[in-house]
Amino acid sequence: MNRLLLIAAMFLASMPIQAAERRALLVGIDHYIPYPGNAVPATPSELTKLRRKEVHGSFARRSIPDLGGAVNDALAMKEILIDRFGFEERNIILLTNEQATGDRVLTLLRTHLIDSAASGDVSLFYFAGHGSRIRNTAGRNKNSSGYDSTLVPADALLGVPDIRSKELARIYGQAPRKGVTLTVIHDSCYSGAASRGPISARKVRSEAADAGLSVNDPLDAPLPEDEGVLVLSASQDYEPAGELVDTDLGGAHGVFTWALLHSLATLPVNSAIDRIFQRSRALMQSKAPDQEPVLLAKKGRNERGLFGQEPETAHGVTAAVARVARGTIKLNAGLAANLNEGCELKRIERGPPDVEIRITKLNGLSSSDAVIIRKATEDATVRPGDLFELVKWVAPDRELLRVYIPGPAPEKELRLLTEVASQLRGSGSISFVSDPAAEPPTHILSWDAGQSQWSLLENRAGAQPSRIRLLSADAVVRGLPQASHLFVQFPPDEAIARALKFEAGAVLAVDSQERADYVLLGRLEPGSERVSYAWALGDPGQSDHPGGKPSVRPLRTDWFQGSLEAVVSLRNTALGLAKVSGWLNLSPPAGDSAGPYQLVLRNTETGQIVSSGVLRDGEKYKLLLRPRFDASRRVYVFVVDSFGEAKLLFGDNLDNEFPRPGQATLADLVPLTTEDADLIVATPYGVDNYFLLTSATPIDNPETIFNFAGVRSRGSNARSPLSLLLENTASGKRGGVSGIPLDWSIEHLTLLSVDNGVK
C-alpha cells in the first residue's frame, strides 16, 4: 500500500453511504503506440473516418516522447476513489497505454459515463497523458489564441486525430441535461481549455501541435461549466503541465495530480471544491511555480464537493499557504478575500486546529504575510498547501458601513401602534405605504425616543415634526392633508435594540439618521399584524426613480419579522451591505489610480461604446477592455446589481491574462465576451455597478469571491442574504492598511437599467 492509501485508510470510517451510482473512466498514457513506418496501416474505424473529415491537412507526427507518471496517476486515482469516496471497482474503467485509443476513450465517455447513468448519478472522467493543441480557424467561439486544446490518444501516431476540446465539450454537456453530475479532471498540457523533457526535477506533459493540421469548428452548444459540469485542469491553455520524477507517493506523478491526491486524502471527504482546489494550487506552487491550474466551477459547483455533494460544513474566508520562509508565512489571499492586517486564522486539518496565525502585511489583492501566534505543540509546523480559515476579522482603518437604529419603544406603545396602524391601513382616508423604498411616502409616523412620544413628519428637507400626545388613528388623520401617503415606522422593542449591537468592525451604529448610510425600518406586514424590519438607504423616502439621481447602493434589504431571531438576519444583511460598500469604496494603490485597462460596454446593435448612462430592457452589450498602458495583469469583471447581488462576468482564471503570453500588443478594444455571449439588460432594473479588477497574480477562487447573494431577494426571503466575502464576525479592533504594492487596480462604472417605457 502506498503512502497516500496509508493516509486515506485512516478515514474510512467517515466515508459516506452513497445511494446514487458513481462511475469513473480513468485514462493514463505513458507509452504511445509507435509510428508504423512502412507497414501497411490498419483500416481506420468508422468513428475515426468521421473524425478525420473534420481535420484539414496531413498528419506529420512520427514520435511522441514517453512519460513516467501518467499511469501512476490513474492507478492512484482509482485507489482513492474506492478507498476514500465510495466508488465500486465494477463501476471504474481504467485505460492505460495502448488501451487508451481515441475510439475507446470517446466511446466509453458516452456509453459508460452518460448512457449508463441515470438522473442523480455521479460520473468522473480523469485523463493523464500528453496534451496538445490544434489550430481552429472558426470565426466564432474559438479561443483567443486561435487554438483548441487536445488530449493525445494512445494511437495518435497511427493517424487517429487528437481528441479536441470541442468534441469533449459536446459530450460533457450531455451529462447535466440528463441529470448526471459530471466531474472532469485533465492532467495534461494546455488542458485549461479542455505532455511531459527534463525541467529541473520534473518533466512536462507537452506534445507540440501538428503544424499541418487545422479544424474549422465553432462550438454550437453552451460551455460545459456553464451547464454545471466541474472541470479541473492542470494548466492554462497555453502552458505545459509538469510531472515530478519522484514523489512521496512513490514513483513519478503529475504535479497537479500529486497535489490533488494529497488534498483529497487529508481534507474532509465532503470538502467544497474551492477548498480542495485552493490547497492543491498552493501545493503545486511549492513544486512548479510556473504552472497555473484551472478550476471551472459554476452553477454553484464551487461551493459543493468534488462530486456535487453537499459540503461537510458551511465555510467562510479561507487562505492557503504558498510558502514559508524564515518564519514568514506567505498566503495566497489578500484584499480580494477581505483580509486585513491583524486578521487571525486557524488551520483546517483533521484533528485539532493546532496552529493559529495572524496577518502582518498585505501584499495586494491575492497575497499576504502572516506569523504563527498560537500552536498546540512546540513542534507544530506550517507547510505549503496548509489551509487556514478566518476566525477573527479585523476591520481596516474605518468602518465600511454606518447604520442608524431608532431608539426602542415600550411594549405598550408598540401594541398601541399596531392597533392604530391596522385602523389606518383599512380606513380608506389615506394611502398606507408598506414599502417606502418602492413608494415614497409624503409623511412618516415614528417614535421619538428622546421625547417618549409619537411624531408626524412631512417627508421633505427641513420639515419640523408635529407631536402626537395621545396616539390614535383619528389624531394621525387630523394631522395629514388630503391625498397623503403615510408610512408608519415601527421602532424596535427593547429586546431587539439590546441584541442588535455592532462592535467596532465593518458596521458602525451611529447616533443620528443624518450620519447613517442605512436606517433600520420597521413596518406592519401587509395583510397581517406582524412587524418586520429591514435596512433602507438613507431616509425612508429615497427613491431610485430615473428622474432623480440614482443610488449606487441597494435601496433596502429584505424584510425580517420582528423577533429576536430576526436580529441574526439583520446583522448579516448589514454585513452584506458593508461588503457592497467595501467594494464601492475600495481605493486603488497610491500612484496607480488609473489601472492599465478601462472597462467599457458596446451595444451589439448600434456599435455605441458605453461607459456611462442608461441601459434599456432587451439591449445587448459586449464587455470590452480599453488598454491604457502595457502591463501584464489578470483581469476580473463582476457586477453588483440594485439588489446587492454580485455576479462574476469574466475572470475564472482561464484565458484572463492580458496581454497573453507571447502577445506583444493589444488592440484598441479587447473583447472579453465571445460573439454569442451577450449581456442582456433585464430585471431587476436599477443601478448596476460594474467592477474591473486587475492583478499581477491570480486571485484564488474568483467564483467564490465575486459571486455573492444579494441583501434583497426578488420574491420571498427564501435565501440567505449574507454570502462569502464578509461572512465573518466582523469583530475585533481596527488595524491600519498600508504598504500595498502597486501591482493591482480597481475601478467601476455605474449604469442605470430601466424598462423601455421609462423616458
In terms of domains, do 72 and 216 share one? yes
Residue whose cell numbers read 498585505: 362
In terms of domains, do 250 and 329 share one? no
Domain presence at residue 759: no
Domain count, the chain: 4
Spatial contact of 646 and 639, defined as CB atoms under 8 Å apart: yes
Domain presence at residue 296: yes
Final residue in a domain of this structure, among 535, 557, 583: 583
Domain presence at residue 315: no
In terms of domains, do 406 and 350 share one? no
Instruction: Name the residue among 341, 347, 299 with its Cα closest to residue 732.
Output: 341
Distance CA 336, CA 707 (A): 12
Spatial contact of 39 and 135, defined as CB atoms under 8 Å apart: no
Residue whose cell numbers read 495572524: 358
What's the pLDDT at 717?
34
Task: Calculate the CA dihedral of residues 200, 204, 207, 209 and round it to 10 degrees.
Answer: -80
Domain presence at residue 74: yes
- Exposure class string for 355-380: b at 16+ Cβ within 10 A, else e: bbbbbebbbbbbbbbbebeebeeeee
Domain presence at residue 589: no
CA distances (Å), origin 73, targets 26, 96, 621: 9, 10, 44
Question: Containing H/E element for 53?
Answer: helix 46-53
- 3-state SS, 662-706, equals CCCCCCCCEECCCCCCCEECCCCCEEEEEEEEEECCCCCCHHHHC
In terms of domains, do 418 and 365 share one? no
CATH number, domain containing residue 31: 3.40.50.1460
Distance CA 83, CA 10 (A): 10
Spatial contact of 213 and 135, defined as CB atoms under 8 Å apart: yes
CATH number, domain containing residue 636: 2.70.50
In terms of domains, do 292 and 145 share one? yes
CB atoms under 10 Å from CB of 352, counted, come to 11
As beta bridge partners, residue 620 has 680
- Exposure class string for 80-116: b at 16+ Cβ within 10 A, else e: bbbbbbbbeeebbbbbbbeebbbbbbbebbeebbbee
What's the pLDDT at 729?
27
Domain presence at residue 311: no
The gap from C-alpha 30 to its chain's centroid, in whole angstroms, comes to: 35
Distance CA 253, CA 657 (A): 28
Reported in sequence order, the residue ranges of 198-252 that DSSP labels E, i.e. its strands, are 202-204, 214-215, 230-233, 242-244
Distance CA 469, CA 450 (A): 14
Domain presence at residue 319: no
The amino acid sitting at 758 is: V
Residue whose cell numbers read 454606518: 402
Distance CA 370, CA 717 (A): 39
Residue 200: DSSP 8-state: T
pTM: 0.75
Domain residue limits at 200:
3-11+21-303
CB atoms under 10 Å from CB of 41, counted, come to 9
Domain presence at residue 591: no
Final residue in a domain of this structure, among 560, 583, 606: 583
In terms of domains, do 484 and 376 share one? no
In terms of domains, do 332 and 233 share one? no
In terms of domains, do 501 and 624 share one? no
Q: What DSSP string runs through 437-506?
A: TTS--SEEEEEETTTTEEEEEESSTTPPPEEESS--HHHHHHTS-TT-EEEE-PPP-HHHHHH----SSS
CB atoms under 10 Å from CB of 717, counted, come to 15
In terms of domains, do 274 and 362 share one? no
Residue 518: DSSP 8-state: E
In terms of domains, do 227 and 184 share one? yes
Final residue in a domain of this structure, among 270, 303, 336: 303
Taking only the tens place, the pLDDT of each residue in 382-426 is 999 999 998 887 766 567 788 999 999 999 999 999 999 999 998
CB atoms under 10 Å from CB of 468, counted, come to 18
Collect the ranges in the chain with pLDDT lower than 70. 1-19, 40, 139-145, 190-203, 206, 313-315, 350-352, 395-398, 503-505, 539-551, 589-593, 674-677, 713-742, 757-759
24 burial via Cβ count (<10 Å: 0-12, 13-18, 19+): buried
In terms of domains, do 579 and 611 share one? no
In terms of domains, do 541 and 675 share one? no
Phi and psi at residue 616, in whole multiples of 5°? -110, 155
What's the pLDDT at 184?
97
